[in-house]
Chains A and B, each alone.
Chain A
């Protein structure tokens, strides 16, 4: 390795800071979680429906139940898990306001939702003729919101949601072969903004959903002059979500002479932040950080 390559590591972080768009949603989630009171313990205590965008005519069906074209109530033989009932109609998640008008953890029965997540992923960094393709791992923080346009317009459930997200990730460094030398950076940082298309596959709580995102990414790419150049590229992502708590994600960042394809696991910040916090606490108290 040539002398003078090392300082490149220091420059990799210039111009990147954790974006306020990511920090603020995470902070608001934690605040709401800390203030949230336990859900009502029984149907009799459930507050009335207040979400006028998902109002339905009165029905004989019990809250949260809908048994299709032939039954409006549960059949006599219906079985269920014993669990604490959800609030309101029984379909909105506990961490929501006005019966799913705004949800802090997204779910099928939400008109608008906060998107706040962390994810880890592994894949490949493909740099073509500039060197071998190497494994690439990244840690991502994402924030944003989603809306149901058709639900807002027609005032009834619709499976399509549209969202806007911003994310920041830090990953393993990039390399470039220059003659007989290997030039490498200490880390790869990227910021992204993306439009999210969600299709919820059914209506019940914790429904699965398909998310297709497309947007722009800005990240540093190691150039021929052995310097890091901040470039704009295309960001594409496909995810299979399990309610608002977890997703399996395949994402790609397509930059000039640098393509990163990553497969990963995404979880809501309410679960992901404690994981990151406990890890950081162990590193700090262990004298490593």
Chain B
């Protein structure tokens, strides 16, 4: 893409101005040279110069229509269909390259080895073993069983492709991702990071490996008398601060539909010396195992919402 952008100025070459007559760069006529060898080239007529200056801005012109751009000539590097036929015969290939193996499902809204750039909304529902460090003096770290629901937006760009015939297959794609993580007690985190997916095959259900890594940070949680996020609610859920931690996971799955995921998250403590005691937060984190998939086919979204609801109803956090 960068190459085509860099050639844009060439594509936008101005339409040729009307032919200039006489050409100021042409050599003087032989008769003039014979008469006076030091004779100067006749200057460009003023009206032509003005006409050239006042010409309207040229419209877009493609390179092939522009007489100033050299035309492609047969032979390297300008291969045409006839050249390709020669090459295919030389290497005992069939006359025509293989057609695309199949059509793309769901217009690339769900990742597929046949798709290039994809935009996905992923939902994770997982069991989580959470932990939180207590007082350093008593070393009373606390662990409890909980759940994790996560909704992320992934934008994936192909980084490594495999080509068969005229068809490209996505082997490795990566790009930015971000979203919301939820657990029991109204705990909410956001995350900003990178996601990567590798396909091990070309089929609609080709196995894949997903790896994600992100900065994770608290954005919400229990705040007594907090009046909600926007200051107008009757809830104890409100904004909560934390330093930047991180979350990473690995998933294996089929065809971009869904993955079994195992991962972990670490919440950094806020315990600098100059921070007052009432504002400090302990180190915390979780390990999680679950299922992640694209919300467009429904099941991952339903599973994540159910997981979140069960975490809110069944897990009673310590305050």
A→B interface (CB under 8 Å): 1, 6, 9-10, 12-14, 16, 18, 38-39, 56-57, 59-61, 66-72, 75-84, 119-122, 132, 134-139, 154-157, 170-173, 175, 177, 182, 184, 186-189, 201-207, 242-243, 245-246, 248, 263-265, 267, 271-272, 274-276, 278-279, 281-283, 285-289
Q: Is the CB of A282 within 8 A of B63?
A: no
| Contact yes or no, A13 B227, CB < 8 A | yes
Q: Which of A60, A83, A132, A281 has the most CB of B within 10 A?
A: A83
Minimum-distance CB pairs A-B, first 7? A13-B231, A286-B312, A265-B178, A282-B308, A202-B5, A120-B190, A172-B241
Q: In the docked arrangement, what's the CA distance between A272 and B223, Å?
A: 25
In the complex, how many angstroms separate the beta carbon of A218 from the nearest chain B beta carbon? 15
Decide yes or no whether B104 CB sits under 8 A from chain A: yes
Does B2 sit at the interface, judged by CB under 8 A? yes
CA distance A136 to B116 in the complex (A): 36
A57 to B276 CA separation, bound complex (whole angstroms): 68
What are 20 A-B pairs with beta-carbon distances under 8 A? A9-B226, A9-B231, A12-B231, A13-B230, A68-B4, A68-B63, A69-B10, A71-B72, A76-B81, A80-B167, A81-B161, A139-B190, A139-B219, A172-B241, A182-B276, A187-B238, A275-B153, A287-B313, A288-B237, A289-B235
Contact A56 B60 (CB under 8 A): yes
In Å, the complex CA distance between A272 and B301 comes to 14
Cα–Cα, bound, A137→B221 (Å):
13
Contact partners of B241 in chain A: CB under 8 A: 134-137, 172-173
Known: A69-B7, A282-B304, A282-B305. A132 touches B274 (CB 8 A): yes
Contact: A137 with B103, CB < 8 Å?
no
CA distance A172 to B235 in the complex (A): 16
Pairwise interchain contact A137-B239, C-beta atoms closer than 8 A = yes
Tell me whether B30 is interfacial, beta carbon within 8 Å. no
**Among B152, B155, B170, B239, residue most surrounded by chain A Cβ atoms (within 10 Å):** B239
Q: Which of B228-274 contact A (CB under 8 A)?
A: 229-233, 235, 237-244, 270, 272, 274
**Whole-angstrom CA separation of A14 from B192 in the bound complex:** 31
Q: A172-B240, A279-B151, A286-B313 are in contact. Are A84 and B69 (CB under 8 A)?
A: no
User: How distant is B69 from chain A, measured CB to nearest CB, in Å?
Assistant: 5
Whether B238 lies near A242 (C-beta < 8 A) is: no
Would A122 and B279 count as touching, CB distance under 8 A? no
Given contacts A245-B155, A278-B151, A285-B312, contact A135 B178 (CB under 8 A): no
Q: Give the shortest distance, in Å, between A280 (CB) and chain B (any CB).
A: 10
The answer to whether B182 and A271 touch across the interface, beta carbons within 8 angstroms, is no
**Does B48 belong to the interface (CB within 8 Å)?**
no
Inter-chain CA distance A104–B179, complex, in Å, is 21
- Asked whether, in the complex, the Cβ of A84 is within 8 Å of the Cβ of B62, the reply is no
